[in-house]
Chain A
Amino acid sequence: MSILVIAEPNGVNVDRGTLSAISAAHKISNEVDILILEDSEEVIKKAQNIKGVTKVISASGDLDGGLAENIAPLISECAKNYSHVLSSAGTFGKNIMPRVSALNDSQQISDICEIIDGETFVRPIYAGNALATVKSKDKIKFITVRTTAFEVAQNEGGDAKVVSGPVAETNGKSSFINRDLSESDRPELTAAKIIVSGGRGIGSADNFSILDSLADKLGAAVGASRAAVDAGYVPNDYQVGQTGKVVAPELYIAVGISGAIQHLAGMKDSKTIVAINKDEDAPIFQIADYGLVGDLFDVIPELSDKIK
């Protein structure tokens, strides 16, 4: 068995999600190759250094914007040499992988959180309220990986050789216009050691800044519940939960978040959870390691002040 991992292109490196997918791949086989979908010597050099990667396949052609229509046929062509094709279950992998899987007449397995053997995988269903163990009978298995469930592969000590891969052709039916990425000096939600998240209890978009000084003191990322996103307090890329990002930091501080099932699905694997809420019966307290009942508008400034 040999495995192909699709690296999510980001222009700078092999991202943490892809590194998690690589360590998931190692649980199936020692033969792991990585496909790089961007024209960057720097990224290719970094990919060569990843421990346990045999080959770095460097694709070329029309990779602009990572259009599924251009890239899926390319991955599909590469896939024929492998038993498994993996990517992280971020929006890139979620967009591309099913298209590749269908081109190969294979039933994809989404968002796996455990590997039993090369054919058998565990995946969350119903927003993580149940876990299904499924066995795939398809010849090539296309899989996206829940990255918080797997360690990050070491990005040094490797010595992979580089081979040139297939060329992406312009499909002529779709084109990339632009990308509008939220700019922030803070760490990314999925990579942060500490996350401070706000819910509907924050009350307004303006009030959300109350979390900023605390986050800055802690070097934390700022997240939000779906309720806060729906209410328009923050953009959707802040969202932690089943329909947003799944995170598992060392410390998760939930502020004014009641603890809807869909939010818990996105953060319950955090190492330590702290909940701050004025409603002492809020469901979030049932899963928090430490709960503080109080008005967040008193508690958060005090906390920010007292943390050195």
Chain B
Amino acid sequence: MKILVPVKRVIDYNVKIRVNSEGSAVETNNVKMSMNPFDEIAVEEAVRLKEAGKAEEIIITSIGDKGSQETIRTAFAMGGDRGIHILNESNTEPLAVAKILKYIVDKEGVDLVILGKQAIDDDSNQTGQMLAALLNWPQGTFASKLEVSSDELQITREIDGGLETLKMNLPCVVSTDLRLNEPRYASLPNIMKAKKKQIIEMPVTDTGVDVTLRLETLKVEEPAVRSGGRKVADVDELINVLKEEVGII
């Protein structure tokens, strides 16, 4: 089985983001970047499948500027085998990303795509479902558990009221939720080995996908800040304000 894991380079989740002075985007210059956390879970799951003897190869891909290669190397250090970097200096929307991934899937003969359910920058939660639609493959979104056999997959999904279990044929697309696994830290020898693994760089135009933005961003702003209130001294005062000021109990 050949697994494709697409990874996105995003502002590190610990960074407090800032809107740029033009109010057109979130500032990404001189900001720490790392792999989208949901994608780390996707890489980890792929590596576990390979370690369990269920997959032969893990292809890592990323779409973006030169920096994306660093994110691909991070995935190599966790256990990815080889990389495809689709070079696009500007932002790529989920639909265009799905089309590019379809191009890679068709070209490489991939059996399973595992990817994060959403990226923590644009929070779209679309790419996996869109890719499944374009490939006419089944989709297992928001996965918290996977059981993979040679031609079939049983997936437990996180849904609003609890959990749901589906069965689907391979090939298919799986998107990861938080509880699927806990990604490993890369060891130093593996980080060294990652430097030698191969990344093929391809300009986005070579994929034949039109990446013209469909959504025009008119402005980006910071939300209204909720200001704090006051401290209460004890439980009696708290009950009193809930009765008198909030009027709820």
Which residues of A does B touch, CB under 8 Å? 65, 67-69, 72, 90-92, 94-103, 105-111, 120, 124-138, 171, 173-182, 188, 190, 193-194, 218, 226, 229-230, 235-237, 242-243, 245, 250-251, 261-262, 268, 272-274, 280, 285-294, 299, 302-303, 306-307
Q: Which of A98, A173, A194 contacts B129 (CB 8 A)?
A: A98
28 A-B pairs with CB atoms under 8 Å apart are A68-B129, A69-B139, A72-B133, A102-B129, A102-B130, A106-B214, A108-B126, A110-B123, A126-B11, A130-B222, A132-B217, A133-B218, A134-B218, A136-B214, A136-B215, A174-B167, A177-B166, A179-B164, A194-B248, A236-B177, A236-B179, A237-B163, A242-B120, A289-B229, A291-B229, A291-B231, A292-B231, A292-B232
Q: Find out whether the CB atom of A179 lies under 8 angstroms from the CB atom of B159.
A: yes
Q: Find out whether the CB atom of A105 lies under 8 angstroms from the CB atom of B95.
A: yes
Tell me if B178 is interfacial: C-beta within 8 Å of chain A.
yes
Report the nearest B residue to A72, measured CB to CB.
B133
Chain A residue numbers with a CB within 8 Å of B229 are: 288-291
Tell me if B208 is interfacial: C-beta within 8 Å of chain A.
no
Instruction: State A98–B141 Cα separation when bound (angstroms).
Output: 11
Interface size class of B (residues with CB under 8 A): 35 or more
CB contact under 8 A between A98 and B249, given known A173-B138, A287-B228, A291-B229: no
Report the nearest B residue to A306, measured CB to CB.
B239
CB contact under 8 A between A174 and B216, given known A107-B93, A107-B94: no
Chain A residue numbers with a CB within 8 Å of B95 are: 101-102, 105-108
CB contact under 8 A between A125 and B133, given known A177-B166, A245-B160: no
Q: Find out whether the CB atom of B215 lies under 8 angstroms from the CB atom of A307.
A: no
Instruction: State A299–B161 Cα separation when bound (angstroms).
Output: 30
Chain B residue numbers with a CB within 8 Å of A307 are: 239, 249
Instruction: State A57–B124 Cα separation when bound (angstroms).
Output: 28
Chain B residue numbers with a CB within 8 Å of A95 are: 129, 139, 141-142
CB distance from A291 to the nearest CB of B (A): 5
Tell me if B202 is interfacial: C-beta within 8 Å of chain A.
no
Minimum-distance CB pairs A-B, first 5: A98-B129, A107-B214, A102-B130, A289-B229, A174-B138
Q: Find out whether the CB atom of B17 lies under 8 angstroms from the CB atom of A129.
A: yes
Chain B residue numbers with a CB within 8 Å of A124 are: 123, 223
Q: Which of A94, A175, A235 contacts B166 (CB 8 A)?
A: A175
Tell me if B196 is interfacial: C-beta within 8 Å of chain A.
no
Q: Find out whether the CB atom of B246 lies under 8 angstroms from the CB atom of A303.
A: no
Chain B residue numbers with a CB within 8 Å of A290 are: 229-232, 238, 241-242
Tell me if B52 is interfacial: C-beta within 8 Å of chain A.
no
Q: Which of A131, A174, A242 contacts B221 (CB 8 A)?
A: A131
Instruction: State A106–B95 Cα separation when bound (angstroms).
Output: 7
Chain B residue numbers with a CB within 8 Å of A245 are: 160
Q: Find out whether the CB atom of B162 lies under 8 angstroms from the CB atom of A292.
A: no
Q: Which of B26, B179, B227 contacts A125 (CB 8 A)?
A: B26
Tell me if B122 is interfacial: C-beta within 8 Å of chain A.
yes
Instruction: State A96–B16 Cα separation when bound (angstroms).
Output: 32
Instruction: State A289–B139 Cα separation when bound (angstroms).
Output: 43
